[in-house]
Amino acid sequence: MSCETIRTHLVAYRDGELLEQDRARVAAHLSGCPACTREEKQLARVNQMLTNLERITPSPDFAAAFWRRLEQEGHSRQEEPESRWARWWRELREGLTGWQWTPALAGAASLLIFLSYILSSHPTPTPTPPTQPAAHVAAADVPAPVAKEPGLFANYRVIADLDKLSHFDEIATVQVPGEHNTELASEENLPPDLVKDPSFFVHYPILQKMEQLENLEAVLDAPVEGDEHARG
Amino acid sequence: MRQADGRVGRDLLPASVLIMEQKERFTPHDDPDVQLMLRFQKGDMEAFQQLFHKYSPSVVNFAFRFLGTQARAEEIAQEVFLQVYRWQKRYEAKAKFSTWLFKIAHNHCLNEVRKGEYRVSLESFDPPDDFEGDERERNLPDTTSAKGEDILAAKEAADRIQRVLHRIPESQRTALLLSRLEGMSYQEVAEVLGSTEKAVKSLVFRATQSLKEGLRDILDSYEL
């Protein structure tokens, strides 16, 4: 091992926290390397200075103040029995360490997206107009972009179908018969998917809102209150 | 626990043997303090008093080194033990009592820091406004004697250490304090931080490097 690598192990070496194999390598290196030996001695001195720091003594009133506080608060705030849900949530939080939250949240997000896809795969009988968001959703819990445009949630199932539109670019470039076109569209110049399922045009006004899909990311990325705290 | 020079006492034995011994043989119920906590859970108030008297000085010291003021450290320590009292029914012996206790203490200190009162700019080498420094700073010694010079040097080192502790990230600070002042193993520190031993090894290493840099001139003077 190089001196640079050895030095990253020196603190753990002194702490007795290296596996035997690594410890033997570091010891062998130190026996023949004055520079790393000097570094090791300096780290030892730092440790010594730190462990020799004078420990403060709690003030004379500290313990008495605590028992007074316990008497005042402890008796007035007798612990209430923990509900089943509270217990489940606490155990989940305590069971997941900080670095475990990330994959857990990623998994939850994946599950959410998967469920959305499953739900969206059921045929919708008729397109429904945007509805008002559920009344029980507190305004404070709704990200700002969604609060401004409540219809985004109503459109979500249709938007989720966009994955299936492999020829969406072609749809966009199709010249729709109308005031700007004198030539009527025929089946030959329409994308095959559109010919098979003309109902896509029913969704066209909604598809135009694709520009707003950036708001979907905002919804998914919106921080959950208390999450940061839970990560400790 | 470590000896005064920071080296683990049983270093004649291979480290891997010690670690395996600790992992395989220790169960939380072997910890006498866990037994005290379980007694307290059943209503034995004397057990709680024993835990308070045994651990409150350590929690005060940890919070003092973490926050830099004794008054706030004592307040935090009181809150920690109030929480232990309130959570008595929820307590489950999953780890050593000390790791559970310092996990609570660490969280309280973090909350305190995040209130903004004790936040110190990383660029700044100055401690917080209400930083008290080391207690010994208040009564300057007579520096005319050799002993006085030693004491002054020790004060200077203690002050430097406290300043560096306030500069380094909180996770490094906790890892270093628990490892050095409480003599916790990397595994125990990892339990407190909700992290891994490997991560703790890195945290302690980086914190020690920062301390070494902050104390460089003092360390160099030892070698003259």
The pLDDT value recorded for residue B155 is 83
pLDDT at A225: 43
Mean residue pLDDT across chain A? 67
* CA–CA distance, B224 with B211 (Å, rounded to integer): 20
Q: Is the pLDDT of residue A26 over 70?
A: yes
What's the CA gap between A128 and A130, in Å, rounded? 6
Tell if the CB–CB gap between A15 and B74 is shorter than 8 Å.
no
Amino acid at A74: G
**Which one of B8, B56, B90 has the shortest CB-CB distance to A16?**
B8
Q: What is the pLDDT of residues A35-57, one digit of tens each?
A: 999 999 999 999 988 988 889 99
Nearest to B171 by CA among B152, B196, B145: B196
Low-confidence ranges of chain B (pLDDT < 50): 1-11, 118-126, 134-141, 143
Instruction: Kindly provide the ipTM of the predicted complex, given to two decimals.
Output: 0.74
Q: List all residues 6 or more positions away from B15 whose beta carbon is below 8 Å from its beta carbon.
A: A16, A17, A18, A19, A20, A23
Dump pLDDT digits (tens) for A143-178: 565 566 655 555 555 555 555 555 555 545 544 444
Report the residue of A7, A40, A53 to disrupt the B interface, i.e. the one with the largest count of B CBs within 10 Å: A53
Of residues A138 and B197, more confidence is placed in B197
Q: Which of A87, A98, A74, A84 is nearest to B83 (CA)?
A: A74
Summarize the confidence of residues A98-111 as an average pLDDT: 67
* Gap between the Cα atoms of B48 and B28, Å rounded: 17
* A148 interface with B at CB cutoff 8 Å: no
Q: pLDDT (tens digit, 9 = 90+) per residue, A178-223?
A: 444 444 445 555 666 656 666 655 665 565 565 555 555 554 455 5
Angle, nearest 10°, between helix axes B170-180 and B186-193? 140
Q: Give the closest-approach CA distance of A141 to chain B in angstroms.
A: 23
What contacts B53, CB < 8 A, 6 or more positions away?
A63
The reported pLDDT for the residue numbered B122 is 35
At residue B201, φ and ψ (nearest 5 deg) are -55, -45
Here the tokens at position B204 are 């302690």
Which of A75, A79, A58 has the alpha carbon at shortest distance from B76?
Answer: A58
Q: What is the pLDDT of residue B21?
A: 53
| pLDDT for the residue B90 | 85
On whether any CB of chain B is under 8 Å from the CB of A85, the answer is no
